[in-house]
Amino acid sequence: MKKRVYSGIRATGRLHLGNYLGAVKGMLALQDEYDCIFSVVDSHTITVPYDPKTLKQSVREIILDYLAAGLDPKKCHLEIQSMVPQHIELSYYLATIYPVSRLEDLPTYKDKKAQYPKYVNMGLLYYPVLMAADVLLYKGELVPVGIDQEPHLEVMREIARKFNGMFGQTFPEPQRFKTEGEYVPSLAGGGKMSKSVEGSYITLTDDLETIRKRLAAAPTDSGQIGGELPKEGGVANLFKLLKLLKLDVEYKKFEQDYRDKKIRYTELKEVLAKAIYEELQPFQEKRKIFKEDPKLVDDIIDEGNRKCLQMADRTMGEVKKKMGLI
Ligand code: TYM
């Protein structure tokens, strides 16, 4: 039996370089060898303020991004989370065995509470339990996600262990599949690239001019500092991006320029802009082709959901039996 892989992305806007290098590259690396399910997790999307009028379109855009990035429906199943209601069903059963106090302590919950103080809903607290259900529903063993998701993976393993202990061996303990881009830094100076921080990201559909503009706004220093490269902040982040894009020769050159206090950030940013655009161009061309064929995309989604529903049913039967519900 091939190992099962599961990952998902929320429909909160176009994918950015962080999503791509941190998660999608991992999905691409695994789809040839493993039994993979990749989802647009719309039920997770609605835990923060969102627009119901545009949600369906946003979900569709992520599916197009997946296909354009090279996720191949012949090799993996593409799923829309809310189309497989067993995610919610399993999450409720798992919630009955997990302590509230542990959920209240999670950094992601605290961050969201701080970000949306008027929108602290039950779904937000419940988020990691639903995420555990996403993966455990398919008995997923490997989860390609960025490093920010590690606390959620820990919850997943705790829930799996607890369930197995109470009701008998049922679930594997999922592990994160680590990618080189597991932490893509923000363009805005500190922290990680994030959809919710304006000025921090480059989306996969940006053209060269937009990429240049976004990089131009990224903070640096006066270029007169010299010595060792800083470990954090705007300059460190630009160097990290050079590394992630495998621009090793350029990295060394700019590092030397930095030491010699003659670095020109406009030059570094132009090198980065061109390399990013080059990486994104094939994606953008492929995306257009899928966008122009809505019937093909509908069929891919229907087939993915159909297969996932069958797999989900099997797990739910087993879970309900073990819990004494049937
Ligand atoms: P989401 O939608 O916030 O992000 C999607 C994926 O992109 C990764 N990511 C990054 N990786 C590296 N550097 C960054 N700057 C960066 N920003 C985002 C995230 O780590 C993630 O892999 N909780 C998940 C969605 C989810 C899920 C699941 C994932 C729900 N159920 C089950 C895996 C399995 C989330 O919010 O991702």
Q: Identify the CATH homologous superfamily for domain 4-183+294-322.
A: HUPs (3.40.50.620)
10 Å CB burial of residue 49 (0-12, 13-18, 19+) is exposed
Q: Measured from the CB, is residue 65 less than 6 Å from ligand 1? A: no
Closest CA to 6 of 125, 130, 181, 105: 130
Q: Which of 108, 149, 187 to mutate to test the pocket of ligand 1 (most atoms within 8 A of CB)?
A: 149
Q: Measured from the CB, is residue 287 less than 6 Å from ligand 1? A: no
> Domain ranges in the chain?
4-183+294-322, 208-287
* pLDDT tens-place string over residues 21-58: 999 999 999 999 999 999 999 999 999 999 999 999 99
Rg (CA), the chain: 21
Q: Measured from the CB, is residue 183 less than 6 Å from ligand 1? A: yes
> Is pLDDT of 189 > 90?
no
> Is pLDDT of 1 > 90?
no
Residue 65 contacts residue 11 (beta carbons within 8 Å) = no
Q: Quote the pLDDT of residue 223.
A: 87
Query: What is the distance between the alpha carbons of residues 250 and 277, in angstroms, rounded to a whole number?
Result: 16
What pTM was estimated for this model as a whole? Answer: 0.96
Distance of CA 182 to the CA centre of its chain: 10
User: What phi and psi values does residue 192 have, to the nearest 5 degrees?
Assistant: -100, 160
- What percentage of the chain reaches a pLDDT higher than 70? 100
Q: Which two tokens stand for residue 232?
A: 């954090």
* pLDDT tens-place string over residues 245-268: 999 999 999 999 999 999 999 999
